[in-house]
Amino acid sequence: MTNLLINVDHVGTLRNAREETFPDPVHAAARCEQAGADGIVFHLREDRRHITERDVRLLAETVNGKLDFELSTEEEVVSICCDVVPDLATLVPERREEVTTEGGLDVTASRPRLNAVTDRLYGAGVDQVSLFVDPVPAQIEATAAVGANCVELHTGDFAEASTEAARREEAERLAAAADAAHETGLRVHAGHGLDYNNFSLFRETVPHVAEVSIGFAVMARAILVGMDQAVRDMRATVANAQP
């Protein structure tokens, strides 16, 4: 079955908006795990706009399932990741002006830096290193060439497609990328914009998906129905979707 990892960044966004100590992403992570999440994702941004170093340390101590540390290649953040040694490190592009991660890494253009960071992460004891990329063959090839053993396919264009036909076309692009990644020996992850409505089309079209990372849809629902219910609903959505 596809692993469901829940991203708790938005809990930190809400807390920091009021410069408060609550709601706490660490408490939220525990709730997510109790409700059936296989693991927790966070992104330690260079500007610390949601997750802080305190959160990282506590999440590393308290998360029982899989811990996915999303990061850019900035030196200080890479050092923290090497110190924490999560189960999975996912390298993502980062721009300070963006509201959320806007697209995949250009791996072909940054191979030496990504290669060096990937090696450092393995050297620190991180078992799985993933690169977040658009579903483009050249990026998949470059991901394997850099030495990552996982790839996270960016599902944003699929999620944002405005017509059914466009969404199906994006799902086919993701399927071709997943096939190519699987053939190269990469473990396939996916995320960005996946939700309760679009997941079944995604999963019935895209093969080899070992893991998905979902944040906004679950946190948005949690505000209205509670975290337990929101995670359980997503757990069921992922479990019921057929490849």
The residue type of 184 is T
Binding status of residue 33 toward ligand PXP by CB under 6 A: no
Helical residues (DSSP H) of 46-101, grouped into ranges? 53-62, 75-84
User: Of 192, 203, 221, 235, which lies in the binding site for ligand PXP, with binding defined by CB under 6 A?
Assistant: 192
> How many residues in the chain?
243
Site string for ligand PXP, 126-155 (x = CB under 6 A): ------x-------------------x---
Contact between 197 and ligand PXP by CB under 6 A: the answer reads no
Catalytic residue among 10, 33, 50, 70: 70
CA-based nearest residue to 146, from 159, 164, 133:
133
Residue of 82, 214, 231, 234 that binds ligand PXP (CB under 6 A)? 214
Residues 54-93 that bind ligand PXP (CB under 6 A): 70, 90, 92
Rounded Cα gap, residues 101 and 221, in angstroms: 21
**Residue 225 tokens, joined:** 């129905």
CA distances from 35 to 81, 233, 235 (A): 27, 9, 8
Number of other CB atoms surrounding residue 127 within 10 Å: 13
Query: Taking contact as CB under 6 A, which single stretch among the options 20-28, 165-173, 208-216, 235-243 is the one that binds ligand PXP?
Result: 208-216
Q: Which residues are catalytic?
A: 43, 70, 192
**Interacting residue ranges for ligand PXP, rule: CB under 6 A:** 7, 9, 43, 70, 90, 92, 100-101, 132, 152, 191-194, 213-217
